[in-house]
């Protein structure tokens, strides 16, 4: 049976005859369908977030695995966690069929090898404390299915993110499904479009909401940002000022003493503590700045 992601879209029939403005209008109409499809999966996404939070609190890790666009989106989301939330690189990891070379050029043949997906899981030494999210728009990618089977055998929590109804054959190996049904693509089978958009939206929520629940956000500020470049240093200064109301010179000095950690600098300034005592206070409250300041 053909996956809906491979069907032809009647809304884009004869798109090659359309004006540029008409093509843009079609994209807007179809992208709204992607957003609605993700919103329809809100309960499933919320449950997935809670599973990730439970895993992180138990010392587990989150892995994404996919091929092509799905794999690239997983690697992208994972790679953004350390600079945004100061997480260790191993906490959230992206696995793509064909390894890093596949990030820049298509290595399509690798996605057909379930044994390669299983091997990737063994190489990363998954444990029952870990979570694996398989990503495959069509719900059929052998590499991803091989990885899910191996992770299930190990006892890890397994999730599947796809843009078709949950494949029946996967229900024995998958703990939880997220299935935004986006419908046929504008260009038949080009799942980097609506399916890719829906996938990115879901991954945004999985990691960001999990980090919020772990205390890495105060109010709506990324207080655990890792100031690794000029832009992020300036952002850290603004974040500390937004919470403390202290002038730039004092904030800069506190950040220097806090080794660039905005959250620690905030505690130092608001509680008039040195870095060691401020860190101890944060640890007492499991890193939740809200509990320290309230």
Q: Of 137, 138, 140, 145, whose CA–CA distance to 120 is shortest?
A: 145
Cα–Cα distances (Å) from 219 to 24, 222, 239, 242, 292, in that order, read 36, 9, 11, 11, 13
CATH architecture under which domain 4-213 falls: 3-Layer(aba) Sandwich (3.40)
The whole-number average pLDDT for the span 149-163 is: 98
Dump pLDDT digits (tens) for 163-205: 999 888 899 999 999 999 999 999 999 999 999 999 999 999 9
Placement of tokens 């080009």 in the chain: 190
Assess whether the region 4-213 and the region 230-293 belong to the same CATH fold: no
185 is catalytic: no
Q: Of 88, 4, 64, whose CA–CA distance to 202 is shortest?
A: 64
Cα–Cα distances (Å) from 174 to 111, 147, 167, 179, in that order, read 19, 11, 10, 13
Q: Which strands, in side-by-side order, build the sheet including 92-96?
A: 92-96, 62-66, 131-135, 157-161, 176-178
Listed range (39-48, 69-78, 109-118, 146-155) with the worst mean pLDDT: 109-118
> What's the pTM?
0.92
Q: Which of 30, 41, 110, 111 is catalytic?
A: 111
Phi then psi for residue 8, to 5 deg, are -85, 140
Q: Which fold has domain 230-293?
A: Helicase, Ruva Protein; domain 3 (1.10.8)
What is the chain's mean pLDDT, rounded? 95
Dump pLDDT digits (tens) for 28-65: 999 999 999 999 999 999 999 999 999 999 999 999 99
Q: Which residues are paired to 135 by β-bridges?
A: 66, 161
110 is catalytic: no
48/163 Cα distance (integer angstroms): 16
Domain boundaries, the chain: 4-213, 230-293
Dump pLDDT digits (tens) for 212-257: 999 999 999 999 987 778 998 999 999 999 999 999 999 999 999 9
| Maximal C-alpha separation, the chain | 68
């Amino acid at each position: 049976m053909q996956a809906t992601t491979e069907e032809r879209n009647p809304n884009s029939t004869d798109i090659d005859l359309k004006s540029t403005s008409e093509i843009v209008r079609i994209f807007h109409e179809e992208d709204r369908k992607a957003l609605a499809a993700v919103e329809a999966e809100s309960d499933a996404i919320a449950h997935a977030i809670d599973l990730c939070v439970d895993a992180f609190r138990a010392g587990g890790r989150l892995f994404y695995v996919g091929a092509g666009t799905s794999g690239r989106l997983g690697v992208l989301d994972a790679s953004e966690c350390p600079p945004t939330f100061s997480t260790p690189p191993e906490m959230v990891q992206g696995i793509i069929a064909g390894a890093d070379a596949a990030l820049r050029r298509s290595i399509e043949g690798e996605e057909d090898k379930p044994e390669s997906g299983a091997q990737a899981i063994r190489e990363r030494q998954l444990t029952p404390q870990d979570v694996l999210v398989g990503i495959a728009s069509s719900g059929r990618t052998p590499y991803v299915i091989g990885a899910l089977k191996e992770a299930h055998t190990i006892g890890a929590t397994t999730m599947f993110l796809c843009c078709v109804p949950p494949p029946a054959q996967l229900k024995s190996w998958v703990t939880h499904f997220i299935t935004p049904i986006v419908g046929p693509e504008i260009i038949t089978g080009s799942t980097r479009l609506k399916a890719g958009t829906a996938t990115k939206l879901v991954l945004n929520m999985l990691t960001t909401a999990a980090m919020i629940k772990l205390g890495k956000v105060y109010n709506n500020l990324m207080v655990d940002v890792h100031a690794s470049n000029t832009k992020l240093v300036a952002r850290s200064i603004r974040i500390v000022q937004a919470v403390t109301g202290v002038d730039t010179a004092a904030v800069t000095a506190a950040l220097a003493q806090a080794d660039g950690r905005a959250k620690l600098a905030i505690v130092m300034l608001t509680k008039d503590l040195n870095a060691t005592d401020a860190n101890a206070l944060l640890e007492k409250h499991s890193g939740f700045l809200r509990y320290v300041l309230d």
